[in-house]
Amino acid sequence: MAEDFHVALLTSDVLRFADACEGPLAMPTEELRLEAERYLMHTYARLPISIARGRGSRVYDLEGREYLDFVAGIAVNVLGHSHPDLIAAVQKQAQQLLHASNLYYTEPQVKLARTLVDHSFAKKVFFCNSGAEANEAAIKLVRRYAHEKYGPDRFEIITMLRSFHGRTMATLTATGQEKVQKGFAPLLPGFLYVPFNDFPAVEKAVTNRTAAVMLEPIQAEGGVHVADRTYLSGLRDLCRQRDVLLIFDEVQTGMGRTGTLFAYEQLGVQPDVMTLAKGLGGGVPIGACLATDEVAAAFSAGTHASTFGGNPLACSAALAVLRVLLEGRVLEHCRRMGDYLAKGLHDCMDRLTMVKDVRGMGLLQGMELAIDGQPVVMDLLARGILINCTVERVLRFIPPLIVTQRDIDRLLDVLSQVLNKRV
Ligand SMILES: *Cc1c(COP(=O)(O)O)cnc(C)c1O
């Protein structure tokens, strides 16, 4: 019966559609680039390669060239590319049920929520599809919590300069960077910005109107700046005393990136609300907003929603990722590789005056240069290595968590050559 249905489909339009799709797959990069310019909005400055497939810590372009991947889809592919457990989970779920909506219960969503709760401070989870949406949910949640408890005047959220929280109207307002906000006024009212790692600044900014303090434990897009432990414990105490909620945006630092499942575990402070996305689905889009029971109670039926949020496909992928991270030795491996990479980068700094600083935790490492970083990114690309540069001068290294010592040696070797050439 099911077979007949597929045969009927295949013999008609679907075959013609498949034929029509053949062309673009074999398109050379230059042609693809021209079509991209023509058909896609110009929101990205893309590098001149097109990635066709990946395996482990490597990706391959349309022409078959190999690249060692120290970007991992911007800290997304935590298990590397084509991890067999992730493939199996996605295939199995695709055969069973792709989507059902939140009008009904689905098992993968509940199992994923339970797994996240079992391994974090949180007691409840809301699922969505991206980092911005996760932060959007967090912003709505803390506003509603404060509104219900203290009335409509308590809505302000203190965020950090140099932060990054996303590109929706609320999250770009939360983002403490003018270049992200430029041209989109009027922004959302109720956001205040203070310098990162500056406790007195937060202390001064908190008033009876403050609903929450929101920050990344490591400012990643902002140039890889790690929050001090004393700063965070100061924030924790202050927030507790004033019943101000503490939100950690772990969209980039979560899911093992720093060597523990979440960065806060190593920083000695638990937030009231935490957001996740990027690595959560290992490449399948999914985001999550986690909170304590008391805070989560501010959302009742009908206050927040997402059609795709917590969809069975995305949740099955995330469950597979979590299983590998928790049952394998990936976190321990990430800590070791993170230390090894950091040491190599520090050695590089000792040899070269153009390297100003090396910062990070686990496999989220940044190298601040005295020169523009983009030419360095291009030089590495030409030598078959993908790295990323943020805030003009900070090279960012965010490989899959399964990266090997040999991969790191190769990166360090090529990076040294490239930087030496630019002295
Ligand atoms: C990437 C990122 C976001 C935004 O995530 P999207 O999935 O692009 O919406 C938010 N916060 C942090 C810390 C991020 O790194």
How much of the chain exceeds pLDDT 90, in percent?
A: 92
**Average pLDDT rounded to a whole number, residues 87-102:** 98
d(C-alpha 215, C-alpha 291), whole Å = 15
Kindly report, residue by residue over 185-209, the tens digit of the pLDDT.
999 999 999 999 999 999 999 999 9
Which ligand 1 atom sits nearest the alpha carbon of residue 163? 13
pLDDT at residue 45 above 50? yes
Half-sphere exposure of residue 410: CA atoms within 13 angstroms, side-chain side: 18
Q: What is the pTM for the complete model shown?
A: 0.94
For residues 116-124, average pLDDT: 98
19 has pLDDT over 60: no
pLDDT at residue number 28: 78
Taking residues 72-100, what's their average pLDDT? 98
Instruction: Match 């709505």 to its residue by tokens.
Output: 140
Using the Cα atoms of residue 193, residue 195, residue 196 and residue 201 in order, give the sign of their dihedral. Answer: negative
Query: What residues form DSSP beta bridges with 274?
Result: 248, 290
Q: Which atom of ligand 1 is nearest to the CA of 74?
A: 1
Q: Delimit the domains of the chain by residue range.
A: 16-76+329-423, 88-327
Q: Other CB atoms closer than 10 Å to residue 266's CB: what's the count?
A: 17
pLDDT-wise least confident of 23-37, 47-61, 294-308: 23-37
Buried b (16+ CB within 10 A) or exposed e, 211-247: bbbbbbbbbbbbbbbbbeeebbebbbebbeeeebbbb
- For residues 82-99, give the mean pLDDT: 98
The C-alpha atoms of residue 166 and residue 214 are separated, in whole angstroms, by 13
Residue with tokens 């999914």: 286
User: 221 alpha carbon to ligand 1 midpoint, in Å?
Assistant: 9
193 three-state secondary structure: strand
- Gap from CA of 400 to ligand 1 centroid (Å): 17
From the CA of 162, how far away is ligand 1's center (Å)?
14
Residue 18 has pLDDT above 50, yes or no: no
**pLDDT band (50, 70, 90) for residue 368:** very high
CATH (one of 3.40.50.720, 3.30.70.1150, 3.40.640.10, 1.10.357.10) for 88-327: 3.40.640.10
Query: Which of 77, 273, 278 should be mutated for ligand 1, with most atoms under 8 A from CB?
Result: 278
Check if the beta carbon of residue 381 is closer than 8 Å to that of residue 47.
Answer: yes
Say which residues have a Cβ less than 8 Å from residue 80's Cβ, sequence separation at least 6. Answer: 54, 55, 56, 57, 69, 72, 400, 401, 402, 403
Q: What pLDDT, in 10s, does the model give residues 281-336? A: 999 999 999 999 999 999 999 999 999 999 999 999 999 999 999 998 999 999 99
For residue 1, what pLDDT is reported?
A: 42
Tell me the CA–centroid distance for residue 193 and ligand 1, in Å.
18
Residue 271 burial by Cβ neighbours in a 10 Å radius (0-12, 13-18, 19+): buried
Distance 60 CA to ligand 1 centre (A): 25
* C-alpha distance from residue 83 to each of 279, 362, 399 (Å): 13, 21, 14
For ligand 1, the distance from its centroid to the CA atom of residue 17, given in whole angstroms, is 35
Q: 361 CA to middle of ligand 1, Å?
A: 18
158 has pLDDT over 90? yes
Residue 215 main-chain phi, psi, to 5 deg: -160, 160
pLDDT surpasses 90 at 134:
yes
Q: How confident is the model at residue 4 (pLDDT cuts 50, 70, 90)?
A: low
* 378-401 mean pLDDT: 98
Which of these, 102, 116, 123, lies nearest to 295 by C-alpha position? 123
Return the half-sphere exposure (C-beta side, CA atoms, 13 A cut-off) of residue 121. Answer: 21
Cis amide prior to 271 (ω within 30 degrees): no
CB 214 within 8 A of CB 193: no
The CATH superfamily holding the domain 16-76+329-423 is Aspartate Aminotransferase, domain 1 (3.90.1150.10)
For residue 16, the model assigns a pLDDT of 53
Q: Which of 387, 414, 418 is nearest to 70 (CA)?
A: 387
- As a whole number, mean pLDDT of residues 219-241 equals 98
Mean pLDDT of 227-236: 98
Which residues form the pocket of ligand 1, taking CB atoms under 6 Å from any ligand atom? 130-132, 135, 164-166, 216, 220-221, 249, 251-252, 277-278
Closest ligand 1 atom, residue 167 Cα: 9
**What distance in Å separates the CA atoms of residue 33 and residue 8, rounded to the nearest whole number?**
36
**Residue 394 dihedral angles phi and psi, to the nearest 5°:** -110, 115
CA atoms of 113 and 291, how far apart (whole Å): 11
Mutate to test the pocket of ligand 1, among 128, 163, 164 (most ligand atoms within 8 A of CB): 164
- Nearest ligand 1 atom to the CA of 249 is 13
What pLDDT, on the 0 to 100 scale, is given for residue 23?
Answer: 45
Lowest-confidence region among 2-11, 110-119, 235-244, 311-320: 2-11
Q: Which atom of ligand 1 is nearest to the CA of 133?
A: 9
pLDDT at 27: 75
Residue 29: per-residue pLDDT: 86
- Identical topology for domains 16-76+329-423 and 88-327: no
Give residue 164 CA to ligand 1 midpoint distance, Å: 7
